[in-house]
Every structure is written in structure tokens, then in C-alpha cells.
Amino acid sequence: MTDTSATARNFISALPHSHALGMQLEAIGAGQATIAMPYDPALVGDPETGVIHGGAVSALMDTACGAAVMSHPQAGISTATLDLRIDYMRPATPGQTIRTRAECHHVTRSVAFVRAVATDDDESRPVAMATGAFTVERKG
Amino acid sequence: MRPPPEPVHVVKQRREALLRSLVEGVPYIRFLGVQFDRRGDELTAVLPFKDSLIGNPRLPALHGGATAAFLEIAAMIELSWSTLWEGVEADGALPEGPLRLPKTIDFTVDYLRSGLPRDAYARARVNRSGRRYASVHVEAWQDNRSRLFAQATGHFLMPPAAPK
């Protein structure tokens, strides 16, 4: 993946909520984005197991999907989520970074369609998957 | 003769203790700053605004992920609360042992308008709760209860029933 969109990269580092969750943009370009969220005890949802809360995974999915849209050549510079569905396949292993790869696979004049997969260290067994629809902002 | 009604402070203490047992131990609920208002058995989740919830600083608007997380917390707490309520009211005591929370199977968020940089509120309704699965709908608003800014539906896997 190549760095084709400095705008999107800078924009993500300036997202206060994504920054608060410790997210790191690892790759972006041509409608695809990879964002990592290192393990943080503050994000735990079940204190008995130490598993990260689904809400934090949702935030990671939403950020990665939005970044994928913004990096798409036809989708413009800004976007907002219309709809996001997340399937939680298994708990993320405590202590491991969660990494989301999002792909904006179709863009119309008004809507961008996105899918994403979240994994931990065991990349063969996804932690969660997402599908979403995002707005396409018209320039000018 | 009917036994005298329980003193109101005993009832309130028990219900507040149940609510605290669901909310206080979860680090992520503290991280987001979500609180719960209780009126009888009705819960309202409150997300006090803070700068770290912002997604787009130019608008500014709440991050879609913060909204999703808020809705998921509201749904999951309502589900646990409504599952435990009857037993706690009947027994007059909190359940023993560690708290076992439902697990999210899927969660679908419908973003209706952008979240403004101010407090948000959410109420969840358990549409179906069986032994293994539950379906929960949740609605969120800011200034105006009838103008929702987001809603969501989620399915949850119930924890195994505690041995009696």
C-alpha cells in the first residue's frame, strides 16, 4: 500500500477521539487503510477476563472505514458514517494489539461502501468484521 | 396481615448498589465517562461532553466510534440490569460471585445526524431476551428527545445462568 493521501493521514492524527484511544495509522491509500490500536487496560470491557470492550473495537472500525473512504480517489476529502454493522466473532486476546484493515470497495456520487476486518496476533482468526455506508462529500 | 413495605432508603440503596456493580468495574465505561440516571427501573445513559470525544474538529462533531461505543454500553447495561432486576427485587440482595456480562454478537448503528459537542443521552429497550440470546434496541439524543442523532440494534449472547 502506498501513501497517496497526506490529507487523510494528517486528518487521522488530528482526530481527538482516535488519538485518545491510542490509534496508529499504519497504511493508507487508494481506498484502503490499516489502523492499529495497542492494548490498553483503560479500554477493557470485562474486568474478569481483561478483554477490550466492543465499543473500543467499534471506534477502531469506524476510524479505519472513514480513513479508507477519505483515501479513495473518488470519495473526496471528508466523510461521515451513515451506517456501520459490526460482527464480533471472538474476544480479542488480552495484551495484544488490535489491527483493522478497511477497504472502500464501491463509491457512487453520494455513498461509499466499506468493509473491514479486525485481527489480533492470530491473523487467521478475525476478531470482528464490519460493513458500513459512508457519505461522499462533494468538493465545491 | 401484609408485611410492612420496605423503607424507601433500603430499596434505593439496593437498586443503586446493583447499578454500581454493573457499571463501576468496567474500565472502558470510566474511560468514556458514561454515567447512568435511574428512575425506578428506567435507566438513562449519559455521555457528558469532553473534547476527547470529538471526531471531526472542524465541525466539530462527536466521533462516530464514540457514539457507537456509548450506544453499546447503554444497550449492554440495560440488558444486564433488566435481567438481574427481578431476582434482586425478589431476594432483596445482590447476586453473589463475579459479575458475568452478556457478550455482543453483532451491533448495527444507524447515524441519523451528526453528534453535537454537548452531552448525549441514550435509553435501551430489550425487545427479546431468551436463555441464550437477546435483541436490544437503543436510541440516543442530545437537546431534543424526539430528534434522535443515532440508534442501534444489537444481539447479545447471555451469560450462563448462575447456579442456585
Q: Which residue is closest to A85 within chain B, CA to CA?
A: B108
Residue A49: inside a domain: yes
**Measuring CA to CA, which residue among B66, B89, B71, B42 is closest to residue B141?**
B71
Residue A30: inside a domain: yes
**pLDDT interval class at B163 (50, 70, 90):** low
Q: Which residue is closest to B25 within chain A, CA to CA?
A: A47
B54-64 pLDDT per residue, tens: 998 888 899 99
Q: What is the CATH number of the domain that holds A62?
A: 3.10.129.10
Interface of chain B toward chain A, CB-CB under 8 angstroms: 25-32, 51-58, 61-66, 68-70, 72-73, 98-101, 103-111, 114
ipTM: 0.90
B72-131 pLDDT per residue, tens: 999 999 999 999 998 888 888 888 877 788 999 999 999 999 999 999 999 999 999 999
Residue B2: inside a domain: no
Residue B162: inside a domain: no
Residue B93: inside a domain: yes
pTM of the model: 0.93
Q: Give the domain range for residue B130.
A: 8-157
Are B81 and B121 within 8 A, CB to CB?
Answer: no
Q: Give the domain range for residue A26.
A: 6-135
* 3-state DSSP assignment of residue B55: strand
Residue A12 has a pLDDT of 61
Counting the structural domains of chain A, the total is 1
Q: What is the CATH number of the domain that holds B31?
A: 3.10.129.10
Q: Which residue is closest to A20 within chain B, CA to CA?
A: B52
* 3-state DSSP assignment of residue B15: helix
**pLDDT interval class at A9 (50, 70, 90):** low
Return the residue in A52, A62, A87 with the most chain B beta carbons within 10 A, the one to mutate for interface testing.
A62
Question: How close does chain B come to A84, measured CA to CA in Å?
Answer: 5
Counting the structural domains of chain B, the total is 1
Residue B146: inside a domain: yes
Whether A62 and B68 lie within 8 Å, measured CB to CB: yes
